[in-house]
Structure 1
Amino acid sequence: MSNIHTYADLPSSDDETSTPFLASHYTNPSSHGSSPPEDSFWSLNIHPSHYQPIHFLFTLLGCPCFIGPPFSRTRLKDYLRLLVTFLFYVSIADIIMFIVELAFCGVKMRLYVIPAPRDTNALIGMGAKVASKVRDGQLWRLIVPVFMHAGVIHLIFNMLVQLSFGLGFERHWGILRMIPIYLIGGVAGNLVSCVTAPMSVSVGASGALLALFGAKFANVICRFASLKPEERMMSLFSLSFIFFFSCMFSFSESVDLGAHTGGFFMGLLLGMILFANHVKNRALRTVSIVGGAVGVFLFFTSFGLLVGFGVGWR
């Protein structure tokens, strides 16, 4: 979420099957006792003995074509699976919306070469978050800004996070969990932003993206007791990395911290509900579901009332 304005201010082969190594090791790496990182959307696509730290970096950055042959059967299956993911189409919608923004708002150049929307009033007309208008009943301003961005860098960065982290989450969680976490998390982030930054005009998917990180925390917590020791270590490493990344992401200049915080905690609450099936103890499972549901209700009730009464507005 970005505040954009304030009122106060291995060799390849044409035929995989012609080489036994390519046919067996690229197409089914898991059969050799190795698999891609837990949160990776992309298959390993190389023999496990050739997997290097740089490959993990490529996976993390959403650059799978650099890992093994880009047109192997394994990779082609990845591309086909990509076409049925929610976040793939969200990313397309983000790009289309940004082109529309430039068309309707005009173009200004940041740092001489980076295009961004010029007319803030036009952005408001397109649906940017404005607390006073949300208070007047324009509730669609809580969801539309999730698909809008303040500039090319803002768009690219959010899409990088969305496609590198988000796709992996969606692969393991399923689309029926991803959709509510992403959309409700985005709405929650904008709702909190109306309270913490009521004089700002904000756009961006950051609240929704932080909701994914919050849900990941809940996912690990719910599964922790059933994980093997080495899986627990990897999960703790993953959570530590996400925590560091989220902090770095949230305290940057021109970032809507309220939207990030709201999105993260909503993702955590939704995760308590959606991943409760991983909790082995029945009583704890019930606590997770009920606690998450009550938390979601209190969240929207309290922040909805704060916006309705204009608490903290000047």
Structure 2
Amino acid sequence: MTQRAMLCPRCRKIIGSNEVTCSWCGASRPSSLLASAAWTRGALDGDWLIRAIITLNIGFYILSLMVSSHRGGGLNPLSFMAPDQTSLLLLGGTGTMPIGQFGRYWTLISASYLHGGILHLIFNLMALRQIAPWVSQEYGPNRMFIIYTLGGVAGFWVSWLAGVHFTIGASAAVCGLIGSLLYFGKSRGGTYGAMVYREVSGWVIGLILFGLIMPGINNWGHGGGLLGGILLGMMLGYQDHGNETAFHRILSLSCVVLTVGVLGWAIFSTLVLILAR
């Protein structure tokens, strides 16, 4: 039976009808419709997770505006339509002040879902929407969410150790995803690995330049997220080294439960304080 051209399940380039492997990345042509279906299911699971992360970020930004007593701007364009610092502190901003003065260690997770302005939110979610599907493709959706969650924690932990007073944003977690792709590209090697490493390195250079130019950027958080993502990619492994295991699924579920619990606590404690005024 004549084979038809199809999308490569790894790099999404076209595999010709007469090719048994992808000429772009070297992946084998799926041997059956079942293999293609399994790929599709994995992609859909990853897409659902990414949409959930984006929805939570948008929801918490709207909530922070509702809780805020005023909306600021200032010299930083990323602070346009900014909630005030009190609302961000109540909802889980992190740094030496929330952790050192109030012992709010749980903010190492919640801070990844808070933003200081509409442009801050849009930039981070645009980066997330480009990077997260790629990580989900190479690592699987469960490992992607683990890297997003723990990469963000690593970034904020490093910035806390560096003495950053107050910080928020999804960029530390997104840098964790970028770091995992850096490791993947370098570790996998070959034409495809070199392409991944080269393209992701461009993101890193852009982050460095952006951090030097724009005021108020948490470069410690970015650097910590990158390092955390590299280490997590190394420890968790990627799809070429083996499919996701029960351990990955349990750890991912633990990150989901922890994230939902932390964000739920942030909402509950904020409402209690507001109603007590």
Gaps of 5+ in 1: 1-29, 49-76, 281-314
Summarize the alignment of residues 125-274 of structure 1 with structure 2, pairs less than 5 Å apart.
125-135=90-100, 136-199=102-165, 201-224=166-189, 227=190, 230-253=191-214, 254-274=216-236
Q: Within 2, Cα distance between the matches of 1:237 and 1:119?
A: 39
In the TM superposition, what whole-angstrom CA distance separates every residue of 1:4-32 from its partner, at most 9, and x where no partner exists?
xxxxxxxxxxxxxxxxxxxxxxxxxx942
Q: 1:248 to 1:31 in 2, by over 3 A?
A: farther
- Residue 198 of structure 1 aligns to a residue in which SS? coil
Q: 1:221 to 1:106 in 2, by over 3 A?
A: same
**Identity rate, percent:** 24
**Residue of structure 1 in register with 2:21 after alignment:** none
Summarize the alignment of residues 80-119 of structure 1 with structure 2, pairs less than 5 Å apart.
81=44, 84-108=47-71, 110=73, 115-119=80-84
Which fold has the larger relative contact order, with Cα–Cα distance below 8 Å and residues 6 or more apart in sequence?
1
Deviation at 1:198, TM superposition (A): 3.3
The one-letter code matched in structure 2 to 1:131 is T
The answer (yes or no) to whether the contact 1:107–1:116 under 8 Å persists in 2 is no
In the TM superposition, what whole-angstrom CA distance separates every residue of 1:47-99 from its partner, at most 9, and x where no partner exists?
99xxxxxxxxxxxxxxxxxxxxxxxxxxxx79x92785322101000010001
Q: Which has the larger radius of gyration?
A: 1
Q: Within 1, Cα distance between the matches of 2:89 and 2:72?
A: 20
The one-letter code matched in structure 2 to 1:202 is T
- Residue 150 of structure 1 aligns to a residue in which SS? coil
The answer (yes or no) to whether the contact 1:106–1:117 under 8 Å persists in 2 is no
Summarize the alignment of residues 20-35 of structure 1 with structure 2, pairs less than 5 Å apart.
31-32=4-5, 35=8
**Residue of structure 2 in register with 1:120 after alignment:** 85
Q: 1:138 to 1:110 in 2, by over 3 A?
A: closer
Gaps of 5+ in 2: 17-39, 243-277
Q: Within 1, Cα distance between the matches of 2:181 and 2:60?
A: 28
The one-letter code matched in structure 2 to 1:151 is G
Q: Within 1, Cα distance between the matches of 2:51 and 2:238?
A: 26
Deviation at 1:129, TM superposition (A): 1.0
Q: 1:182 to 1:202 in 2, by over 3 A?
A: same
Q: 1:238 to 1:182 in 2, by over 3 A?
A: same
In the TM superposition, what whole-angstrom CA distance separates every residue of 1:161-187 from its partner, at most 9, and x where no partner exists?
000121222133211211111111111
The answer (yes or no) to whether the contact 1:214–1:268 under 8 Å persists in 2 is yes
Q: 1:31 to 1:207 in 2, by over 3 A?
A: farther
Q: Within 2, Cα distance between the matches of 1:239 and 1:115?
A: 28
The answer (yes or no) to whether the contact 1:222–1:276 under 8 Å persists in 2 is no
Q: 1:34 to 1:234 in 2, by over 3 A?
A: farther
The answer (yes or no) to whether the contact 2:179–2:230 under 8 Å persists in 1 is yes
**How does the TM-score come out when normalised to structure 2?**
0.66
**Residue of structure 1 in register with 2:20 after alignment:** none
RMSD between aligned alpha carbons?
Answer: 3.3
The one-letter code matched in structure 2 to 1:155 is L
In the TM superposition, what whole-angstrom CA distance separates every residue of 1:193-241 from its partner, at most 9, and x where no partner exists?
1122433x211011101111111111122222xx3xx324423432432
**How does the TM-score come out when normalised to structure 1?**
0.59
Q: 1:118 to 1:198 in 2, by over 3 A?
A: same
Q: Within 2, Cα distance between the matches of 1:187 and 1:131?
A: 14
Q: Within 2, Cα distance between the matches of 1:117 and 1:106?
A: 11
Q: Within 2, Cα distance between the matches of 1:115 and 1:261?
A: 25
- Residue 106 of structure 2 aligns to a residue in which SS? helix
Q: 1:165 to 1:31 in 2, by over 3 A?
A: farther
